[in-house]
Amino acid sequence: MRREAEITVIGGGVVGLATAFGLLRAGRRVRVLDGADSDLRASQGNFGLVWLQGKGAGFAPYAQLSRDAVALWPDFAAEVQEASGIDLALDQSGGYEFFTEADEFSAFKADLEAQEATLGNRFSHEVIPGDDLRRSFPEIGPGVVGATFCPLDGHVNPLRLLRGLRVAVTALGGEIVQGAKVEKVTPVASGFEMALENGSRLDAPRVVLCAGLGAAPLAAQLGFATRVRAQRGELLITEKLETRLPFLSSTIRQVDEGGLQIGGTKAEVGPDDRETREMMAGLAQHAVTVLPALADVRVLRAWGALRVMSPDGYPVYTRSAAHPAAAMVTCHSGVTLAAFHGTKLADWLEDTAAAPDLEAFDEHRFALSASA
């Protein structure tokens, strides 16, 4: 019979599963309660970038955290693969940001300079004017005014990441309970009592809330101030191409199986994940401006998915002041940060001597800014 879990992770997306993976590696008995297929699930609709360019240009702790995560990725991917037998298709050979507007290009150059000032020799990038770019890649269209390149950027297959984490968590002795939507959490002397939507009740000495956009009601019950919001992103998927794209970019990437993902839209529309004709057309236009040869490639699918955004867009790693046995973890860029969540975050959750300093990501920053 399975021994009772020491830690219950609420939410089985990439954030909850990576967190569970790290805790299991640290020797904890872990249970993951995950909701329903009908839930909003960013981990099933994302772009799969393991990306550093532009991250934390205005917030040094986030630049450092993203840089740490990117460095942790090769070992993390190998560990997930070893435990699950699933190849995550990690490729970290560098990535481009392409620009068609001169003012956006200039603003991003300034962001990367700020990032380099923060990260020093842990970051490097190139700024490439359009004509120089076309000397290296003649297939790039005349409408591209320039690009930036960071050799540390990369990508994975995001669905294999999710499946790999699920299999790895189970292989390491974790329990994943599907269809286990937590409706109510009640703090009690021994920890927490949870009422599930399916009518069952569970006890948990410690909980980590990682429920993505489903976190809001539970966050309030556990005394957290963080309230996440949805931000819609839309993607196009093309037919598989015989040839390999010569580069990875933040808006056009070729997945390991051959198709292209074209993406990058952002819309503040609340909990509505429908794709729109307007955004689809814009994505197609952008792709053809960057690579005119894509005009002949067929688009097979399109979807919208909702990002999980904290009030300031940066990650939240916080313990409940009212109920210290509860922690909350939420972030955008949960793919990039998965390597951190699956390794060093466990030291923070366990409060070991090796715990990373995550004070800058505590939720008290929202209370301070509200009263400022």
Ligand X SMILES: Cc1cc2nc3c(=O)[nH]c(=O)nc-3n(C[C@H](O)[C@H](O)[C@H](O)COP(=O)(O)OP(=O)(O)OC[C@H]3O[C@@H](n4cnc5c(N)ncnc54)[C@H](O)[C@@H]3O)c2cc1C
Q: Is 47 in the site for ligand X (CB under 6 A)?
A: yes
**Six-digit token pair at 12?**
């089985």
Say how many residues touch ligand X, by CB under 6 A: 43
Nearer to ligand X, 86 or 185 (CB): 185
202: phi then psi, degrees, rounded to nearest 5: -135, 155
Side chain identity, residue 40: L
Which member of 22, 54, 212, 315 binds ligand X (CB under 6 A)?
212
Nearer to ligand X, 31 or 332 (CB): 332
Nearer to ligand X, 293 or 300 (CB): 300
d(CA 282, CA 292): 14
Which member of 6, 39, 91, 193 binds ligand X (CB under 6 A)?
39
Least gap, CB of 263 to ligand X (angstroms) = 6
Which residues are 270's β-sheet partners?
none
Whether 81 and 141 have beta carbons less than 8 Å apart is answered as no
Nearer to ligand X, 27 or 217 (CB): 217
Which member of 42, 133, 248, 297 binds ligand X (CB under 6 A)?
42
Which member of 5, 7, 9, 13 binds ligand X (CB under 6 A)?
13
Site string for ligand X, 214-243 (x = CB under 6 A): x---x--------------x-x--------
What is the footprint of ligand X within residues 336-355 (CB under 6 A)? 336
Specify the stretch interacting with ligand X by CB under 6 A; choose among 83-91, 178-186, 314-322, 348-356.
178-186
Q: Is 305 in the site for ligand X (CB under 6 A)?
A: yes
Which member of 8, 43, 318, 320 binds ligand X (CB under 6 A)?
43
Which residues are 7's β-sheet partners?
30, 206
Give the N- to C-terminal CA distance of the chain in Å, as an integer: 53
Which CA distances in Å does 159 have to 16, 47, 103? 15, 10, 35
Q: Is 66 in the site for ligand X (CB under 6 A)?
A: no
86: phi then psi, degrees, rounded to nearest 5: -110, 125
3-state helix, strand, coil in the chain (%, to 5): 35, 25, 40
Specify the stretch interacting with ligand X by CB under 6 A; choose among 117-125, 300-308, 311-319, 358-366.
300-308
Which member of 16, 22, 154, 315 binds ligand X (CB under 6 A)?
16
Q: Which residue reads 């956006």 in tokens? A: 104
Q: Is 207 in the site for ligand X (CB under 6 A)?
A: no
Ramachandran region, residue 9 (left: φ > 0; alpha: ψ -120 to 50; beta: rest): beta
Whether 181 and 35 have beta carbons less than 8 Å apart is answered as yes
Dihedral (C-alpha) 35, 177, 192, 327: value to the nearest 10 degrees? -70
Q: Is 55 in the site for ligand X (CB under 6 A)?
A: no
d(CA 302, CA 290): 19
Binding positions for ligand X, rule: CB under 6 A: 10-16, 33-35, 39-43, 45-49, 51, 180-182, 210-214, 218, 233, 235, 305-308, 330-336
